[in-house]
């Protein structure tokens, strides 16, 4: 393993080695017997592919077929291929199969199976080299997903809520693997604790600040909400509006709904004159903290289409400079600034600030990391 340097050139190898030893020791004690035995049945379901008449040349071919099906929004076609490849021990197939089972919006939700698959990956690869770009990012996502489950528990497996263990998983993913989503979830975890620990609050704000500078949309929106409400930081409506505007622009498809909720709340609560005054700060932060649209290794891209939102007074919620196509009386389409448009039909009231939103697959996120549901392709 190559020596890793800290922000100021400090050698981190001894620290990482000790952290690895502690984390792996803790993780090795976590209910392996339950997961190991039950997972045999999960992966044995790969034989169901044969029952359904599915045949595959190899695990690799099955996996590629599954990815193509997911990109096309055909989870039903992807599932047997993932089951087959996972049953043959293919690492990425196990991860994406867990994602399918963890997707609360899909027809194949099975949190028990998702939990067991994530736990298997965490147990088996907890000490993998964090520089292993082929597997380490997915192991980190597995730890983050497990933490989400442990916050709530998994009744199907009689797994009780265990916030302390969830924090250990998040800390391992955030520090050992340097995973941004885990760092974000860890920051929220610290702020949601009820012990009013100033050290935890300071750590949380540190993570949010670092992630904001790196262009993490979730952290930017979350911090914007704190600025808007004056929670843990001095209230600053202008900063809140500027930051959440950048967050919406940075947001991937699976994060857009809750981030746009926060944007709508701030947009509708801030007078138009103050929104106009924020333009300079928005432009500066857009250049500093903007993140270019990305497409992952399997072709899942961000969606930019969403419903038109309105404030309670009928004003359309928009981003600075955004235009909407409007049909004129002659039937022609023209682009006009949404600031000039009003509507009184079915107005959407400003959403309440949302500090913690999500599901069992990852608290605060629909499901941390990969995209598996139709709406995310």
**Tokens standing for residue 21:** 């030893």
Q: Look at the alpha carbons of 122, 151, 215, 245 in this order and tell me if their dihedral is positive or negative.
A: positive
Give me the mean pLDDT over the 89-105 stretch. Answer: 94
> Which is more confidently placed, 262 or 192?
262
Mean pLDDT of 310-329: 69
Give 215's pLDDT tier (boundaries 50, 70, 90): very high
171 and 227 assigned to the same domain: no
Question: Does residue 53 form part of some domain?
Answer: yes
How far apart, in whole angstroms, are the C-alpha atoms of residue 146 and residue 341?
45
For 269-284, what is each residue's pLDDT tens digit? Answer: 999 999 999 999 999 9
The predicted model gives 206-220 an average pLDDT of: 96
Is there a single domain that holds both residue 16 and residue 114?
Answer: yes
- Do 163 and 245 belong to one domain? no
Question: Does one domain contain both 162 and 23?
Answer: yes
Q: How far apart, in whole angstroms, are the C-alpha atoms of residue 242 and residue 221?
A: 10
Domain boundary among 155, 178, 201: 178
User: Is it the case that residue 27 has pLDDT exceeding 60?
Assistant: no
Same domain, yes or no, for 231 and 129?
A: no
CA atoms within 13 A on the CB side of 301: 7
| Structural domain containing residue 169 | 9-178
User: Is the pLDDT at 119 greater than 90, yes or no?
Assistant: yes
Same domain, 242 and 353: yes
What is the domain count for the chain? Answer: 2
Rounded to 5°, the CA angle 212-213-215 comes to 65
Instruction: Assess if residue 104 is contained within a domain.
Output: yes
245 and 131 in a common domain: no
Structural domain includes residue 113? yes
Tokens of 309: 């939102």
Establish if 55 belongs to a structural domain. Answer: yes
The percent of residues above 70 in pLDDT, for the chain, comes to 66
Judgement on whether residues 153 and 226 belong to the same structural domain of the protein: no
Q: What is the mean pLDDT of residues 257-263?
A: 94
* Whether this model's pTM surpasses 0.75: no
Give which of 82, 140, 72, 141 is closest to 110, Cα–Cα. Answer: 82
Percentage of residues in the chain with pLDDT exceeding 90? 59
| Predicted local confidence at residue 42, as pLDDT | 56
Residue 104 CB neighbours (<10 A): 14
Report, as an integer, the average pLDDT of 199-218.
94
Q: What is the mean pLDDT of the chain?
A: 76
- How high is the pLDDT of residue 37? 46
pLDDT score at 80: 95
Q: Are residues 134 and 273 in the same domain?
A: no
- Whether pLDDT at 159 is above 60: yes
- Are 235 and 365 in the same domain? yes
pLDDT at 50: 45
3-state helix, strand, coil in the chain (%, to 5): 60, 5, 35
Answer whether residue 209 is part of any domain. Answer: no
Maximum average pLDDT range among 11-20, 184-193, 336-345: 184-193
Contact in structure between 183 and 169 (CB atoms under 8 Å): no
Residues 118 and 162 in one domain: yes
The total of other beta-carbon atoms located within 10 Å of residue 255's CB is: 21
Both tokens of residue 103?
């997707």
Please determine, for residue 320, whether its predicted confidence score (pLDDT) is greater than 90. no
Higher-confidence residue of 192 and 168: namely 168
pLDDT band at residue 264 under the 50/70/90 scheme? very high
Higher pLDDT: 350 or 236? It is 236
Q: Rounded to an integer, what is the distance from CA 100 to the centroid of its chain?
A: 15
State how far the Cα of 279 lies from the Cα of 341, in Å rounded to an integer.
20
Is the pLDDT reported for residue 364 higher than 50? no
Taking the C-alpha atoms of residue 365 and residue 377, their distance in angstroms, rounded to an integer, is: 16
Q: What is the mean pLDDT of residues 58-86?
A: 94
The whole-angstrom separation of Cα 278 and Cα 345 is 29
- Convert the pLDDT of each residue in 302-314 to its tens digit: 444 456 899 999 8
**CB burial readout 342-367, b (16+ within 10 A) else e:** eeeeebbebbebbeeebbbbbbbbbb
Say if CB 377 and CB 101 are below 8 A apart. Answer: no
For the CA atoms of 347, 351, 352, 357, the dihedral, rounded to the nearest 10 degrees, stands at 150
Q: How far is Cα of residue 372 from the mean position of the Cα atoms in its chain?
A: 12
Kindly state whether residue 4 falls inside one of the protein's structural domains: no
The DSSP call for residue 162 is -
Residue with tokens 């009184």: 344
């Amino acid at each position: 393993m190559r020596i890793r340097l800290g922000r100021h050139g400090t050698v981190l190898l001894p620290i990482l080695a000790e952290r690895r030893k502690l984390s792996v020791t803790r993780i090795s004690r976590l209910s392996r017997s339950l997961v190991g035995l039950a997972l045999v049945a999960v992966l044995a379901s790969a034989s169901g592919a044969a029952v359904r008449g599915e045949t595959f040349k190899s695990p690799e071919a099955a996996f590629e077929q599954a990815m193509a099906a997911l990109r096309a929004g055909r989870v039903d076609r992807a599932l047997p291929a993932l089951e087959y490849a996972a049953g043959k021990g293919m690492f990425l197939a196990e991860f994406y199969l867990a994602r399918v089972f963890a997707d609360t919006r899909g027809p194949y939700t099975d949190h028990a199976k998702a939990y067991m698959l994530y736990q298997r990956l965490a147990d088996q690869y907890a000490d993998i080299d964090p520089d292993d770009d082929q597997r380490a990012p997915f192991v980190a996502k597995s730890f983050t997903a497990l933490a989400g489950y442990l916050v709530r528990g998994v009744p199907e497996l009689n797994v009780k809520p265990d916030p302390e263990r969830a924090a250990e998983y998040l800390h391992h993913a955030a520090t050992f693997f340097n995973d941004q989503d885990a760092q974000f979830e860890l920051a929220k975890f610290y702020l949601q604790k009820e012990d009013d620990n100033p050290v935890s609050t300071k750590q949380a704000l540190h993570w949010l600040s670092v992630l904001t500078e790196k262009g993490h949309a979730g952290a930017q929106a979350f911090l914007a909400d704190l600025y808007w409400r004056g929670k843990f930081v001095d209230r600053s409506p202008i900063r809140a509006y500027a930051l959440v505007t950048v967050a919406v622009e940075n947001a991937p498809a699976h994060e857009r709904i809750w981030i746009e909720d926060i944007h709508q709340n701030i947009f509708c609560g801030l007078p138009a004159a103050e929104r106009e005054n924020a333009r300079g700060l928005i432009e500066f932060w857009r250049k500093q903290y903007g993140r270019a649209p990305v497409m992952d290794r399997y072709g899942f891209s961000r969606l930019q289409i969403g419903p038109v939102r309105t404030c309670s007074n009928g004003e359309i919620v928009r981003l600075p400079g955004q235009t909407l196509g409007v049909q004129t009386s002659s039937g022609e389409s023209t682009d006009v600034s949404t600031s000039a448009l009003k509507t009184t039909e079915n107005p959407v009231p400003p959403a309440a600030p949302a500090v913690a939103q999500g599901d069992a697959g990852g608290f605060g996120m629909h499901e941390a990391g990969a995209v598996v549901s139709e709406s995310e392709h």
